[in-house]
Structure 1
């Protein structure tokens, strides 16, 4: 009891506090709520984390299958990161970025430039992924205004994409349910097909599907006019869209069309950056790309502090410096741009990644993918796909039609509920379950994760059969 009183005295709420759920229902607005429960719901209460595990309010230990939200890359309870936060806060907790700067942000920008592909050399730091994408798009607008091309502002995105929750970044999202009740800058955005090989027409080969995607992009540029299109924004792997891994060569061909038409290529690495695919940046090391900008967040601090950013090509900055408008102001900034604590944590996180975590992620990824692939033995599973340490299990009513709509729309949540009971937290996405565990996961822990997921899917199949929803 003395220890509990000490914790409460420091302002930390214990996960087992009886009133936490009621307090949430009365006062907390959760993200992505439904109108019928907005401001009146409580979600699963998590109390502690250690390594690849979290503990819920009942004391149950769970494998953190989504690594928080694709972000706890080096694992929970890393004392090195906690100490850096304390030390930096005691040295300098904050400085205004409008007319001062701090050393951690300058050093972090250098290290990011050293790791980034091509001529990406300068970083604008933000508070997360949405603000990073927003910053990239606003920079594109500013860049074209300064260069005398005010009409070159349209943005090309794709079905299945997820790029954020701010107004402009959310306008790029290509998942229909995200936009049914929300407004967006639709007049600025053109959406093309998702590069999802699983959903290609049945009679179409992968090569033909790739050609279709590239031709669709090229035809769109010709139809709309390259002089009106400012940027293409794409995730190397569509994460929240269901871990969609594009066909080989597709992204490089899109990049070439962008280069030919002076369309800025923005690679959204909010999820894939900082180790998820075994490298600090997947754009160059995995996909052979040299984008004009890369956005990042999440894994840059392993989720220990809110930080994101956009890395910008040296060429773009040189063109602005040589322009006829030296007094043109990029009127964009955030109160917490280049936050000293966030940048200090990111520096230590980079140390951890480079001192062994990245190597481990590259070595264990094939085992992770192979073990999850065995779940395709289950009749409810249409496909298991992934790259690095991110994967998706997509459930379908039948493999012939690949139709998910005949299933209960909450099949992912059903699987998650069973897995929670068995000791695993998954990320349910309608008919899909996404897995992206901390990069430090071991082979034995992967075996545990897959065994639990197999049992959770099997129990869900039994439920669906009993309810007459699925005959599988």
Structure 2
């Protein structure tokens, strides 16, 4: 009873940084933990955010290089979003989506449909990216069941992909270490090669690599059978796989194969939508494709409220309405589907994007990419790549072999640690550093960010030299 009283007496506003870290170690299970530290781990404690900056528990101000997790697109501490959240909570905090609806969700669906390509005109809301992808896949299964094609359920995915953490969405993942100790629906997924030009076979031209990827896709459809394949799921840019940008024209050619074989094309825009590439949706604007479904999350509320969704083609819904099974139920939904507060925040966020932020992101993106590219001068850096306001610095032990530093898998973490000390938070991914700052970043702030990153990589090179791990 005493322990319960102690917990009740704790006011979060009075909890010190040290207390929070200790409470985290004692009670909090972090995402993606290792067995040796699960339930007994504390991570860097962040206390405040403002604009493109966050402040850690020691009072150090840091540039938020990853924008949270690809999501704080309009920056921290925007009063407009806080007010939208408050006003909607005071009007209607929640309604059940099973037999009622709310106005913000309907208006947001109209606004989103207005930005979506082709005939993608209907929105199903979820709580985030994983549940958005899961929903798209379950809709594909339902769609084929209703149409009398219960065997058309296999899903094509790619190496380097990341599509979520729920059971079915995680089964699509193709990144190193994601699935080493985790189960998945392997019988439903067919994996294709990563479309990473940097890792293409030595001596192969970019055109030949593109043909290889397309031929592999076409051959897989022929081998497995189009009558067995329900969907292809692909990110326009493989984000958590290291900002992998497929060769020009590749996605359009894959889209044509899907259309010719009645395979639903699901464009996973959880990261790339809502301004990350300068547009609300990048599928058509950047890559010239009109998918059957688009999944979104993250930037839809700039991380201020958990919300995601799937935009579905009118053609698919018409097919269902014309079927011989009008009583077939899509038995899928979430308690927080169409949450009124999340949708109200998303509406205000979309206002801000349309008014100025998208144009600003398009204007500064070339400068962001050019400044990041200068880091290729450093011997440890094998490639800098990116698009819009997302970029990756990939470190290698040897540029000729492109050895991804197998002797030290924590190079990204080493760089992040130095950058943290210097005033920048980085997203480390084994031998890579990913950057996706808030879209409101200025040229001067880009200079600061790249300067710190350059120094962090330089210090890491010195460390590796001293330890005899790297001799570049």
TM-score interval for Structure 1 and Structure 2 normalised by the shorter chain: over 0.9
Distance 2:111 2:342 in 1: 15
Q: Find the counterpart in structure 2 of residue 456 from structure 1.
A: 456
By how many angstroms is 1:202 displaced? 1.2
Distance 1:383 1:17, change over 3 A: closer
Alignment of 1:190-201 (within 5 A): 190-201=190-201
Partners of 2:114 and 2:41 lie apart in 1 by 45
Q: Any residues of structure 2 matched to 1:389-408 within 5 Å, and which?
A: 389-408=389-408
Runs of 4+ in structure 1 displaced over 2 angstroms? Answer: 8-18
1:344-383 Cα offsets, whole Å, 9 max, x none, are: 0000000000000000000100000000000000000000
Structure 2 residue aligned with 1:337 = 337
How far has the Cα of 1:19 moved from its partner?
A: 1.2
Q: Which residue of 2 aligns with 1:285?
A: 285
In 1, the alpha carbon distance for the partners of 2:348 and 2:20 equals 33
Give 3-state SS (helix, strand or coil) of 1:266's partner.
strand
CA distance in 1, matches of 2:258, 2:368: 34
Give per-residue Cα distances to partners, 1:282-341, cap 9 Å, x unaligned.
Answer: 001100110000000000000000000000000000000000000000000000000000
Match of 2:3 in 1: none
Gap regions ≥5 residues in structure 2 = 1-7
Distance in structure 2 (CA, Å) of the matches to 1:10 and 1:267: 45
Assess if the C-alpha contact under 8 Å between 1:146 and 1:320 holds in 2: yes
> How far is the alpha carbon of 1:406 from its aligned partner?
3.4
Q: Secondary structure at the match of 1:372?
A: helix
**Would you say how many aligned residue pairs link Structure 1 and Structure 2?**
465
Give, in whole Å, the separation in 1 of the partners of 2:9 and 2:272: 39
Aligned with 1:328: secondary structure?
coil
Q: Is the 8 A contact 1:195 1:244 kept in 2?
A: yes
Q: Cα distance, 1:103 vs. partner?
A: 0.1
Deviation at 1:57, TM superposition (A): 0.2
Is the 1:92–1:340 contact (alpha carbons within 8 Å) kept by the matching residues of 2?
yes
Which whole-Å CA distance do the structure 2 matches of 1:13 and 1:315 have between them?
Answer: 51
Kept after mapping to 2: 8 A contact 1:16/1:58: no
User: 1:258, 1:264 within 8 Å by CA — same for their partners in 2?
Assistant: yes
What is aligned with 2:29? 29
Q: Please say which of residues 11-20 and 290-299 is displaced more in the overlay.
A: 11-20
Partner of 1:348: 348
| Aligned equivalent of 1:210 | 210
Q: Which residue number in structure 2 is paired with residue 265 of structure 1?
A: 265
Q: Which residue of 2 aligns with 1:224?
A: 224
Instruction: Give the conservation status (yes or no) of the 8 Å contact 2:159–2:192.
Output: yes
Q: What SS class does the counterpart of residue 232 from structure 2 fall into?
A: strand
- The alignment partner of 1:173 has SS state of coil
Indicate the residue corresponding to 2:317 in structure 1. 317
Q: Secondary structure of 2:177's partner?
A: helix
In the alignment, structure 1 residue 161 sits paired with structure 2 residue 169: no
Report the Cα distance in structure 2 between the residues aligned to 1:406 and 1:319, rounded to whole angstroms. Answer: 51
Per the alignment, residue 439 of structure 2 pairs with 439
Secondary structure of 2:113's counterpart equals helix
- Say whether the 8 Å CA contact 1:121–1:311 is kept in structure 2: yes
1:10 shift after superposition? 11
User: Does the aligned pair in 2 maintain the 1:15–1:45 contact within 8 Å?
Assistant: no
Q: In structure 2, how many angstroms separate the alpha carbons of the residues matched to 1:28 and 1:12?
A: 15
Q: Counterparts of 1:407 and 1:81 in 2: how far apart (Å)?
A: 46
1:99-147 deviation line (CA, Å, top 9, x unaligned)? 0000000000000000000100000000000000000000000000000
**Would the aligned equivalents of 2:125 and 2:337 in 1 still touch at CA under 8 Å?**
yes
Distance 1:347 1:457 in 2: 40
* Distance in 2 separating the partners of 1:12 and 1:207: 57
Q: Quote the Cα distance in structure 2 between the aligned partners of 1:92 and 1:250.
A: 46
3-state SS of paired residue (1:456): helix
Corresponding position of 2:87: 87
Deviation sequence 1:232-267 (CA, Å, 0-9, x none) = 000000000000011000000000000000000000
Alignment of 1:108 with 2:138, yes or no, is no
RMSD: 1.1
Counterpart CA distance in 2 for 1:295 and 1:11 is 38
1:469 aligns with 2:469: yes
Does the aligned pair in 2 maintain the 1:15–1:47 contact within 8 Å?
no
Which residue in the other structure is 1:188 paired with? 188
Q: Structure 1 CA distance, aligned partners of 2:457 and 2:317?
A: 51
For 1:380-419, list aligned pairs within 5 A: 380-419=380-419
Question: Pairwise mapping of residues 33-112 of structure 1 onto structure 2 (< 5 A)?
Answer: 33-112=33-112
Matches within 5 A, 1:100-139: 100-139=100-139
Structure-1 separation of matches of 2:445 and 2:143 = 48
Alpha-carbon contact 1:15-1:57 (below 8 Å) kept: no
Structure 2 Cα separation of the partners of residues 18 and 247 of structure 1? 48
Report the Cα distance in structure 2 between the residues aligned to 1:91 and 1:432, rounded to whole angstroms: 45
Q: Provide the C-alpha distance between the structure 2 equivalents of 1:362 and 1:380, rounded to a whole number of angstroms.
A: 30
Is the 1:168–1:185 contact (alpha carbons within 8 Å) kept by the matching residues of 2? Answer: yes
- Cα separation, 2, equivalents of 1:176 and 1:118: 35
- For 1:379 and 1:14, the matched residues in 2 are separated by 47
